[in-house]
Amino acid sequence: MNEFMKLLLTMSVSGTLLLLLILGLIRLYKNKFSRRWQYYICLIAVLRFLIPFTPGTINVGRLLEGGLKGFHTADIMDKSPEMLDRNVTVNGNKEKQTYIYLFFVWSAMALALSVRKIRIYQGFIQCVKAGNVEVSDVRALNLLSGCEEKLNIKTGAGLYCNALIVSPIMIGYFRPSIVLPVRELGDQELPHIFMHELLHYKRRDMLYKWLVQLVVCIHWFNPFAYLLEKEVNKACELSCDEAVISMLDEPARREYGDMLISFLKPTNHCKDTLSFMTLSDGAEQLKERLGAIMDFREKTKGMRILMGVLALCIIFGAVFIGGYSDAPVTGLNSAVTGKSLIPEEQNPVVSTADENSGRASEPPIPEGKSRSMGTYIPNWENWDGDWDWDDKALMEAYAACGIEKNGKFYYYCGETVYILKNQRPDSSIYLINTEGTVSIKVNWNAEGEITGVSYIAKEEVEKLKPKLLGTS
C-alpha cells in the first residue's frame, strides 16, 4: 500500500515539475510557438502524470525517497547501518496504518470524482439529445459535407439543432454529431462552425480531454492538475482556431472572429461543467482567441526547428524525470540505496539475495548452473542494486581467488565463511552466516576486478556483528 502511495506521489511530483517547465516555455514564447505545439506539448505532462514509467537513475523517486524519510522512518532499509539501529517496527506499524488510511481517502475521492464527472457528462448528453431536432436543410448538409471533404473525414457527422444550447457543440466520439443552436445561421458562419467542430473530431480532442479528466481524478490532491486542465482546455480551442484560420484568407478570418463573438452569450441550458467541445466559453478567453486570430502568422522555419528541438527535450525530460524508481521498492530487503547489505533474519542465515528472490526454500542451485545469463560485473554504477550472489561471473571471480561456494555456504581455504565483505572503493556489501568460522574481505577495484582477499581482524568482526545481525 505504501509503495503505491509513494508511486502516486512521485508521479504527481514529476508531472508537476514537467508541467511547470512546459508552462514556463509557453509563457515565454506564447506568440512565437504555434498553438498546436502548445496544445500537444501538454500531452507529455498528461502522460507523465498517468504513466508510472521509470527508466532513469536520476529521478524524482529517489529524491522523494530522501525527502519522505523525514516523516516516516518506515520499515525500509536506511542508508547507513547507524540509521538502521533506530529503525524499529513499532514505528513501521503506525506508518502502515497511516498509509492504509491515506489510500482509502485517496481512492474514495478519486472514485467519487470520476463518477461525478461521468454522470455530469452523461446528463449533459442526455439533455442535449432530448432537445435535438434533425436538420434536413440540404444547403446546410451540403456545407457540412463540403467541410468533411476538405478535411478528409470519411465519417459523415450528424447535424442537429437544439433550442437548449446557445453555442454549437460536438457530441459523440465514434459517431460525431454537430449540434447547432436554434437561430438563423448564414452560409458564411456555417462553414466556420463546421470546420471548427470537425477539427475537434479529427484531432480526437475528446480523448485528450478525457485523459486530462483522468489526471484530475487521480491527482485530485494536486492543485497543478487543475492548472493543467485549464491550460489544456484553453490551448485546445486556441489550436483549433489556429488550424481553421490557417486555411482561410484575411477577410474570412475576420468572419471567423465575428462568428466567435456572435456566440458569446450566457451559458447553455444544459449544464456541462466540463465544457466539452463547445465553440466558445467566456469573454476572457474569447479575447485571447481573437487576439490570436489577429496575430496569426505562419511560423518561420527556424521557429519550427526550435519547437521540434524543445519538444524532444521535453520528451527526454519526461522520460528521465521518471516516476517512482523501482529501486527503493525493492530497497525494502536488499538495501539498494545503502552501503551495506544485511541479512534480515538472524538464524538460518543464507545469502540475502536468496531471500530476496524468495528462493531460500528451494534446493541449492548446482554450481555452474546458476540462472544468470550474461555478465555480472558491468553495472558498477549501481552495483549494490545489481549484486547477485548467484551470478556465474561472480562465482568465477570468487573461484579465481580461492572462494568456493557450495550450496548456500561459502568456503575459503576449506573453512566456512562467517562474514564475507565485498569492499569497493566507496561502499561495501556484506553476507553473514552464523555457522561460519572465518571472516574475509574481498577487495574490488572500480573496474570490477578483485584486487585481493584478506581476513578481517577480530575487532572489526565484533564491530560488524551487531549491525549485520540487526541487534545492538
Partner 1 sequence: MAHKISESELVLMRIIWKNGGVALYSHIMGELVKDRNEWKNNTVLTLLSRLVGKKFLKVNKIGRRNEYVAVVTEAEYQAMQTHSFLDKVFGGNVKNLVSTLLRQDILSADELEEIESFWRKGHE
Interaction site with partner 1 (CB under 8 A):
134, 136-138, 141-142, 144-146, 148-149, 156, 158-159
- Shortest Cβ 64–partner 1 spacing (Å): 53
- Shortest Cβ 179–partner 1 spacing (Å): 14
- Shortest Cβ 240–partner 1 spacing (Å): 21
The closest alpha carbon to 343, from 471, 468, 439, belongs to 468
- Shortest Cβ 246–partner 1 spacing (Å): 23
C-alpha cell of 148? 468533411
Q: Which is nearer to partner 1, 158 or 448 (CB)?
A: 158
Q: Which is nearer to partner 1, 144 or 245 (CB)?
A: 144
d(CA 161, CA 165): 9
- Shortest Cβ 311–partner 1 spacing (Å): 35
Q: Which is nearer to partner 1, 136 or 347 (CB)?
A: 136
Rounded to 5°, the CA angle 45-38-180 comes to 105
Task: Label the pairing between strands 415-423 and 438-444.
Answer: parallel
Q: Which is nearer to partner 1, 46 or 135 (CB)?
A: 135
C-alpha cell of 266? 450566457
Residues whose CB falls within 8 Å of the CB of residue 195, separated by 6 or more in sequence, listed in order:
147, 150, 151, 244, 247
- Shortest Cβ 145–partner 1 spacing (Å): 4
Strands (E), 241-378: none
d(CA 80, CA 126): 61
Q: Which is nearer to partner 1, 176 or 436 (CB)?
A: 176
d(CA 218, CA 8): 9
Q: Which is nearer to partner 1, 93 or 155 (CB)?
A: 155
Q: How far is CA 349 from CA 98, 434, 468, in A?
A: 33, 6, 11
Stretch (H or E) spanning 35: helix 35-50
- Whether the CB-CB separation of 56 and 319 falls below 8 Å is answered with yes
Q: Which is nearer to partner 1, 173 or 380 (CB)?
A: 173
- Shortest Cβ 158–partner 1 spacing (Å): 7
d(CA 429, CA 442): 10
Q: Which is nearer to partner 1, 150 or 265 (CB)?
A: 150
- Shortest Cβ 124–partner 1 spacing (Å): 22
Helix ranges, 383-422 (H) = 392-400
d(CA 80, CA 339): 6
